[in-house]
Structure 1
């Protein structure tokens, strides 16, 4: 259950620490005092998307923490799965919202994300707000109510998965079963493209090699002149000595000097090594000249080959590697297209099996929803009778529809508000007060199917007054006998049943608005109940009535 909620700089709440108890916790206060802010704060600490507008004016951040104790096994397992095992069956959740739009979340002091908070929130509490009544206006939600009541979510999930598998296969089959003339044209095109690429017999590094050869042939004269000049410098030409001969004389002179001067020996040895290197240079240059193949007649062939490669690159890819990749892709497509008849037969058989599986699951789901709907209607009807709606008869229209992801169920809740009247769509004839009590009844019925420790009702009594309001209070107290219930209400009849009554009040000083949350003792409760029924200037009669209301609720 939610044991403590700390709020700092949230809207009109400067700072507040709220202690909760088991049983029925009720918040009351004048309109605009900040009751709805509490619901926003709880939503925020559990990972819901929030606006920076939630931060109190003039502050840089808002902080909310929530302490949950006596966690259910399901909640503890959810925390373990999220990587935050709970100690002593309790967990402290922290969320900070900054004015710059950033959010900081922690679970038991360890960093977390808003999505993690949201994933575990469904195991901690369930919030029913005023707008939740609109769920009753959607027949899609009606199916979800029946599935939850009958614990059919797993079967519905398997039916949905089978239907999606069937649709995936059917889409692939439709892609294969294209127009035969179009398929023939595609096969011809693929044959041509594959043949064109294969005829070129491309090699991965061929283009670079061809460009290198072209460059060499186009500059063959310069290459020959440069190599020949280098050879002449080394070997000499005519009567002039070359570098090698001059180096030979230099080596001989230094070697002779080294015979008599030890200090000249290193230089003589180094010059000897250099002379050997220059002899090697000469040998390499002569080899290049001997092997130089610069046949100008090859240039035309090289240009034609490069033109072929350029033409293919314009069609199939910017590089030879991309052209070859396109070739492989085209071969695969051709193989699949030419064998599409066999694949189509295979897919047809597979689609038939999947459709049969989905239809079988949908039929099983229809039968179980039929049985669950009967029990659901009876159980909710008992709740409605208790809530002073004995003349209201709830029923379900359940018929078959074409197979879809959610089965073959065309299911919608119907209502008859008066004896003798035909049942009509709930969305068309239920009033606001009726919707509130019907939704409360459904929430109570479905709550019995889970072990969520805390239920929160935000003005669930909208549109209700008098004896019906008292019945709502009594029903909430019954629910609170087995779990924690937190209620925001404007009705004294509901508030009188509280185990813990908290007053939200607003005041203004120093040019700022402040909201305070105060636990009420018995005398304070009497005055608050009197205010709720008779206004701020509660008369003795109003106070007496409030006291009797409180005593009657206690009994």
Structure 2
């Protein structure tokens, strides 16, 4: 459930925090007041598009944040899989920057947008005007039917089997080639495999050789520096650091009888002398190692040249080239053992096709059965919504096998008795689409674990008793989950448990939108304004009071 929505510097909203409650939450306001901004902000919280155009003029960034409680267990488990903790509450925050970038945080931790999109179906389901028109596209109908069915495990099984079927089909198609093509591919792969095998690739070799080449290329500079260092320690025509340290130690030892503390310094210099002698010997060993094999640099350059050429053809690293070799060896084996490979591929394909076909048949049976239940329940809801004459048919036709089965599902409707059912797109009006979508949402909500349902002006194209019925249905749905609704209809607004007024004002220079939770008195006034327009008279006020009282008794 969405407890709090925080909005800062989004469009005409400077800063507001909306505290939604359980049950039926209503938002009303004049056209252009900012109702759509609230919905856009909620959509942004659950991973929707976050354009820099949303940022309030003159601001560097905009912020939207949603605080959720009673998070579904499935959502918690998914968040845990992604590495996010979610105990009793979930806070999602998005910052939209003027540069066009946006950042996401889940309970304070940075999160990719993909995670928000993955968990959003468990948190909020937004139904807007545009979604009603999705009913006109039969490509959506299968999803609606499947979401209410009791065969989710079968759908999962089918998806796994179809993926295997696709893979075996791909392998079979790769092995069904003509002889000339097979010979050409064999020749190419034979050359590539031989070239890579002969190279005897070793992971890390390129970096090692590059480092050694740099060392060899600077060998003269290295030897000179080492020789100078040793000379400074050992001396040549002068006393070196080793001898000077030894003499200094002896001098301090002489005066130790007069100054006891000098003995400690003498001892420390003795240690320095031995350390310098050790360093001198180590430098000498380095000088011996720095002796250059005149042919080694040529060997390295030739090897690096080979690796450069192989990298251009087979991959940017030894790992990629070795992976290319392994894949090529596997394919070459298949081609050289074509008959056996083809027979094996055909066998695997046949088994996979048989499995996925049987599961597709079971899906068809389940969908036909679900379609009958869907028809009955949706028609019952439509009758309640003043569409008693409307009849629904769920058409299930067979199409080529795909990732959803082999069924094409389409909702057909008949608006009047005796008329044959036709596609929704051909006969439904805007108001009918809104009520049909609400009826479908009501039916689907019985199996939906989403905590919050949002309806954005689903009352478009309806009025009077029909809008009251829509309100009653939304009220009914809100008994088991949180419902947030944007409406212009007083019959719907009167049924709210919580009523928010969205109002726009200006100080002459800037425009501001405020969201106010209405008390009983202001709720009556707001409802009267919906009924009577700008003039809120006694009649409108009385009508508003009556609607609210009737709503309390539902």
What is the TM-score normalised by the length of structure 2? 0.73
The aligned runs of 1:90-489 (5 Å cut-off) are 90-184=89-183, 335-489=333-487
2 CA distance for matches of 1:324 and 1:64?
48
- SS where residue 485 of structure 2 aligns? strand
Q: Give structure 1 stretches of 5+ with no counterpart.
A: 206-305
In the other structure, the counterpart of 1:498 is 496
Larger Rg computed on CA atoms: 1
In the other structure, the counterpart of 2:52 is 52
1 CA distance for matches of 2:519 and 2:41?
25
- SS where residue 501 of structure 1 aligns? strand
2 CA distance for matches of 1:420 and 1:90?
54
CA drift at 1:552: 1.6
How many residues align structurally?
444
The Cα offsets for residues 308-353 of structure 1, whole Å up to 9 and x where unpaired, read as: xx9xx99x989xx9x9999999876654323111111111111110
Q: Does the Cα contact within 8 Å between 2:50 and 2:102 map onto a contact in 1?
A: no
1 CA distance for matches of 2:363 and 2:497?
42
CA distance 1:366–1:550, change in 2 (3 Å) = same
1 CA distance for matches of 2:466 and 2:347?
60
Q: Does the Cα contact within 8 Å between 1:395 and 1:413 map onto a contact in 2?
A: yes
CA drift at 1:91: 2.0
The Cα offsets for residues 119-162 of structure 1, whole Å up to 9 and x where unpaired, read as: 22222221111111132122221111111111333322322332
Q: Does the Cα contact within 8 Å between 1:166 and 1:354 map onto a contact in 2?
A: yes
1 CA distance for matches of 2:370 and 2:363?
10
In the other structure, the counterpart of 1:512 is 510
2 CA distance for matches of 1:120 and 1:334?
44
What is the TM-score normalised by the length of structure 1? 0.73
CA distance 1:490–1:328, change in 2 (3 Å) = closer
Q: Does the Cα contact within 8 Å between 1:9 and 1:62 map onto a contact in 2?
A: yes
CA distance 1:164–1:109, change in 2 (3 Å) = closer
CA drift at 1:457: 0.7
2 CA distance for matches of 1:505 and 1:98?
26
Worse overlay, 30-39 or 113-122: 113-122
1 CA distance for matches of 2:324 and 2:445?
59
CA RMSD of aligned residues (A): 3.3
CA distance 1:73–1:187, change in 2 (3 Å) = closer
- SS where residue 83 of structure 1 aligns? coil
- SS where residue 17 of structure 1 aligns? strand
2 CA distance for matches of 1:330 and 1:93?
47
Q: Does the Cα contact within 8 Å between 2:193 and 2:328 map onto a contact in 1?
A: no
In the other structure, the counterpart of 1:20 is 20
Q: Does the Cα contact within 8 Å between 1:381 and 1:394 map onto a contact in 2?
A: yes
In the other structure, the counterpart of 2:519 is 521
1 CA distance for matches of 2:388 and 2:339?
64
Q: Give structure 2 stretches of 5+ with no counterpart.
A: 202-301
CA distance 1:376–1:36, change in 2 (3 Å) = same
2 CA distance for matches of 1:156 and 1:11?
42
Worse overlay, 474-483 or 540-549: 540-549
Q: Does the Cα contact within 8 Å between 2:193 and 2:329 map onto a contact in 1?
A: no
2 CA distance for matches of 1:510 and 1:376?
54
